[in-house]
């Protein structure tokens, strides 16, 4: 029902003699489209024709100008950072908006130009196409369905069990091939190193007799007189790469002298005077918990609002975290600098299946 | 031998002896005075800042202000009043300057946190109060002179991100704490107020003493904060300074909205 059934197809000789317009009309007619009106939008060379051309070309010229402007701004506008004091920061700040503006203008003008060309330059035509309503005719649907079913029946798919199961296995294999490269990177054996697993050990663990110092971000070891009462400093293990060890960041907190502290059971003496060292990794999902409130003694995690009470063994008092922040046992070395007496006695960060069971030895 | 000439000579000798005594005395006096002037001219000046703090007139004026506005909650001897206000002994000039110059003190009421408001005391009165509180047990003081360290602004930014950004946000816009408390935005904070806050740790902010952040570190942090506040927003508006979340939402809603709107308009015109 696509129309054009009653169109007489010209012979090859006739086709060779036909003009481009006649061929175009024939093609439309073969597709069931009757061109009622068809021709140039304006008389060629008339003022209206020239005006239409100009109005379309205007957009393409604007496209070219904005493209050149974009390149010019990209190359010559000052893109080096300027300080506030220089007074020229606004010039630097305009770099991105300017190149964005002109790239956008380039694309916009080109798009408008294409639309304008379609509206004002393409031939004027009124076309009529016969369309059927609803689904295809009964005969079309039945014959097409039968073609497909008959191919399957003749190939004998229904009775060939081996073929069906081998195709199923092939599909499964293809799926696995697609998933493995993505999933493979995530699968690791956390217990490959046994009791030395990264889940148990942090960079605070002493190597032999050498205990690890508590150092600030620039590597300076800390002494008790460095912090005022009611202060907190993020410290790192004083070993190579210690500041980058993602499980070893520790909050060294100096409480005020009259603060009453209840240590966790079995962890009395982990502190040094008013100094308490807690893991900075939240026991919920591992965000850095560094919002220390020095008067209420609470440590707030910014991700999910878990709160830990420093006065009560850093137990959680609010939010989704369920375990207290692990406490690092600290002392002073011979030179008076803070050291970690041992590693954490429990795993830091979010819980895992075996986290409550401790090491096997 | 008692000739007039001889007498004359004797008298002259006697006179010259007296003159020598007098001239010696004068020379000694002159030397002493010169030494005194030289000493006062060359000896180092005993810090004018300290002299101002010890200025009894300022301290007396500060005591008068204290008795009028602070004594109800902080007590007659700055020992604090149970349930009203903490002891101010040893908090020093830095804490007093921060609380009074930001208008937090005197407080209007006792809430979760004292909000910043229009200061009640002017600069001179604030200094008088600070001088008075400083006499009770001393305490940290904001140094005079420039509090900027523009040469190390990048390190200041690093220190800010490590020590301050978790509560005050990385562009100084502040953020929430527990139970209605909050870390305030740093928009209005001056150099000396930021310095005083780091030294004194107001309310729930931890202290950052000079052993933890040296004066140079503190000045670098102040340089970063003030620079971040003065930085020009490329789009003309900072969208709260929260970075990709608010900016992405804006770009998505406004950008997508524009595209959908233009598409609908083009469809309606076709």
Interface predicted TM-score (ipTM): 0.72
Looking at domain A195-361, does it have CATH number 2.102.10.10? yes
Query: Which residue in B172, B234, B242, B255 has the most chain A C-beta atoms within 10 A of its own C-beta, making it the best mutation to test that interface?
Result: B234
What tens digit of pLDDT does each residue of A216-259 get?
988 899 999 999 889 999 999 999 988 888 899 999 999 998 88
**What pLDDT, on a 0 to 100 scale, did the predictor assign at position A189?**
86
The rounded percent of chain A whose pLDDT value lies above 90 is 52
Which among B179, B231, B233 has the least Cβ separation from residue A84? B231
Chain B closest-CA separation from residue A304 CA (Å): 12
Average per-residue pLDDT for chain B? 83
What are the tokens at A18?
A: 């036909």
Phi, psi for residue A35 in degrees, rounded to 5: -85, 105
Q: Which residues of B touch A300 (CB under 8 A)?
A: 177-178
Q: Which of A85, A118, A228 is the best mutation test for B, with the most CBs of B within 10 A?
A: A228
Q: Are A316 and A306 in contact (CB under 8 A)?
A: yes
CA distance, residue B25 to nearest chain A CA (Å): 57
User: CA of B132, closest CA in chain A: separation in Å?
Assistant: 23
A277 by Cβ neighbours in 10 Å (0-12 / 13-18 / 19+) ranks as buried
**Structural contact between residues B157 and B138, judged by C-beta atoms closer than 8 angstroms:** no
Nearest CA distance, A151 vs chain B (angstrom): 45
Quote the pLDDT of residue A10: 86
Closest to B106 (Cα-Cα) out of B91, B85, B90, B123:
B85
Contact A315, A308 (CB under 8 A): yes
Check: CB of residue A25 under 8 Å from CB of residue A127: no
Provide, as residue numbers in chain A, all residues whose Cβ is less than 8 Å from the Cβ of B235: 97
Chain A contact set for B162 (CB, 8 A): 217, 234
Range of lowest pLDDT (A224-238, A272-286, B156-170, B225-239): B225-239
Q: Do A227 and B211 touch (CB under 8 A)?
A: yes
Locate the chain A residue with the closest alpha carbon to B231.
A84
Q: Report the residue from B201, B230, B233 with minimal CB separation from A231.
A: B201
Residue A311 CB partners (closer than 8 Å, separation 6+)? A259, A260, A261, A262, A297
Of A217, A231, A300, the CB nearest to B208: A231
Q: Do the Cβ atoms of B201 and A228 come within 8 Å?
A: yes
Task: Spell out which residues of chain B touch residue A228, defining contact as CB-CB under 8 Å.
Answer: 201, 207-209, 211-212
Q: Where are the domains of chain A?
A: 12-128, 195-361
Whole-angstrom Cα distance, residue A346 to residue B54? 54
All structural domains of chain B: 49-141 (1.10.760.10), 142-234 (1.10.760.10)
- The DSSP line for A107-166 is HHHHHHHHHHHHHHTSPEEEEEE----SS--HHHHHHHHHHHHHHHHHHTTTT-HHHHHH
Chain B contacts of A293, Cβ < 8 Å? 177-178, 181, 204
Q: What is the pLDDT of residue A357?
A: 60
**Side-chain-side CA neighbours of residue A346 (13 Å):** 20
Instruction: Please enumerate in sequence order all residues whose Cβ is within 8 A of that of A158, keeping only pairs 6 or more positions apart, or say none.
Output: A152
pTM across the whole model: 0.73
Q: b/e for A142-169, b at 16 or more Cβ within 10 A?
A: eeeeeeeeeeeeeeeeeeeeeeeeeeee
CB-based contact B232 A90, cutoff 8 Å: yes
- Measured between CB atoms, which of A89, A226, A294 is closest to B232? A89
Q: How far is B75 from chain A (nearest CA, A)?
A: 20
Angle (deg, nearest 10), helices A47-76 and A95-120: 160
pLDDT value, residue B219: 94
> Which of A84, A107, A216, A235 is the mutation pick for testing B, counting most B CBs within 10 A?
A84
Cα-based angle A303, A309, A313 (whole degrees, multiple of 5)? 120
Q: Average pLDDT by consecutive 10-residue portion of chain A (361 residues)?
A: 66 90 89 86 90 95 97 94 84 92 96 92 87 85 94 89 94 94 87 85 89 91 91 92 90 91 89 93 92 92 92 92 92 93 91 69 38
Smallest Cβ–Cβ distance between A295 and the set B203, B209, B212 belongs to B203
- Smallest Cβ–Cβ distance between B234 and the set A96, A225, A291 belongs to A96
- b/e sequence A233-269, b meaning 16+ C-beta within 10 Å: bbbbbbbeebbeeebbbbbbbbbeeebeeebeeebee
Q: What is the pLDDT of residues B89-117, one digit of tens each?
A: 989 899 999 999 999 988 888 888 898 99
Given an 8 Å threshold on Cβ–Cβ distance, is A85 in contact with B150? yes
CA distances from A32 to A11, A80, A355, B51 (A): 20, 63, 75, 104
pLDDT number for residue A272:
92
Give the minimum alpha-carbon distance from B182 to chain A in angstroms, rounded to a whole number.
10
């Amino acid at each position: 029902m696509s129309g054009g059934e009653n169109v007489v197809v010209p012979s090859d000789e006739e086709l060779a003699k036909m003009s481009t317009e006649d061929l175009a009309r024939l093609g439309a007619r073969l597709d069931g489209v009757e061109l009622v009106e068809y021709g140039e939008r304006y008389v060629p060379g008339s003022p209206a024709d020239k005006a239409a051309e100009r109005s379309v070309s205007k957009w393409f010229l604007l496209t070219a100008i904005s493209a050149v402007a974009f390149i010019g701004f990209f190359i010559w506008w000052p893109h080096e950072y300027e300080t506030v004091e220089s007074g020229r920061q606004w010039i630097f700040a305009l770099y991105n908006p300017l190149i964005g503006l002109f790239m956008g203008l380039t694309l916009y003008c080109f798009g408008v130009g294409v639309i304008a060309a379609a509206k004002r330059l393409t031939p004027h035509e009124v076309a009529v196409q016969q369309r059927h309503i609803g689904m295809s005719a009964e005969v079309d649907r039945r014959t097409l369905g039968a073609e497909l079913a008959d191919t399957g029946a003749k190939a004998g798919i229904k009775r060939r069990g081996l073929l069906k199961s081998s195709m199923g296995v092939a599909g499964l294999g293809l799926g696995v091939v697609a998933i493995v490269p993505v999933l493979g990177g995530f699968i690791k054996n956390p217990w490959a190193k046994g009791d030395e697993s990264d889940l148990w050990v942090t960079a605070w663990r002493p190597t032999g007799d050498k205990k690890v110092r508590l150092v600030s971000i620039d590597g300076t070891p800390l002494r008790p007189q460095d912090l005022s009462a009611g202060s907190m400093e993020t410290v790192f293990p004083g070993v190579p790469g210690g500041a980058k060890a993602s499980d070893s960041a520790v909050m060294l907190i100096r409480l005020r002298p009259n603060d009453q502290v209840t240590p966790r059971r079995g962890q009395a003496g982990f502190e040094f005077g008013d100094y308490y060292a807690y893991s900075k990794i939240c026991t919920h999902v591992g965000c850095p918990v560094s919002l220390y409130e020095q008067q209420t003694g609470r440590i707030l995690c910014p991700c999910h609002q878990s709160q830990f009470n420093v006065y009560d063994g850093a137990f959680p008092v609010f939010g989704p975290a369920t375990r207290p922040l692990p406490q690092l046992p600290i002392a002073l070395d011979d030179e008076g600098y803070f050291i970690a007496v041992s590693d954490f006695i429990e795993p830091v960060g979010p819980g895992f299946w075996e986290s409550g069971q401790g090491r096997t030895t | 031998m008692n000739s007039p000439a001889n007498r004359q000579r004797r008298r002259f000798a006697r006179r010259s002896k007296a003159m020598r005594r007098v001239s010696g005395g004068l020379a000694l006096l002159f030397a002493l005075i010169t030494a005194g002037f030289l000493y006062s001219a060359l000896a180092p000046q005993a810090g004018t800042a300290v002299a101002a703090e010890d200025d009894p007139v300022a301290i007396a004026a500060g005591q008068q202000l204290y008795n009028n506005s602070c004594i109800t909650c902080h007590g007659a001897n700055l020992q604090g009043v149970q349930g009203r206000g903490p002891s101010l002994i040893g908090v020093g000039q830095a804490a007093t300057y921060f609380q009074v110059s930001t208008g937090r003190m005197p407080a209007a009421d006792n809430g979760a946190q004292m909000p910043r408001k229009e200061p009640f005391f002017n600069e001179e009165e604030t200094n008088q109060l600070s001088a008075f509180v400083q006499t009770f047990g001393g305490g940290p003081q904001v140094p005079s002179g420039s509090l900027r360290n523009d040469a190390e602004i990048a390190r200041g930014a690093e220190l800010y991100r490590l020590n301050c950004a978790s509560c005050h946000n990385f562009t100084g816009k502040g953020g929430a704490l527990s139970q209605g408390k909050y870390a305030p935005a740093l928009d209005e904070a001056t150099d000396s107020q930021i310095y005083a806050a780091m030294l004194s740790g107001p309310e729930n902010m931890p202290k950052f003493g000079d052993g933890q952040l040296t004066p140079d570190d503190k000045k670098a942090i102040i340089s970063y904060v003030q620079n971040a506040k003065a930085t020009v927003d490329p789009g003309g508006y900072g969208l709260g300074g929260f970075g990709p979340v608010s900016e992405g939402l804006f770009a998505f809603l406004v950008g997508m909205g524009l595209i959908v709107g233009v598409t609908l308009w083009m469809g309606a015109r076709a």
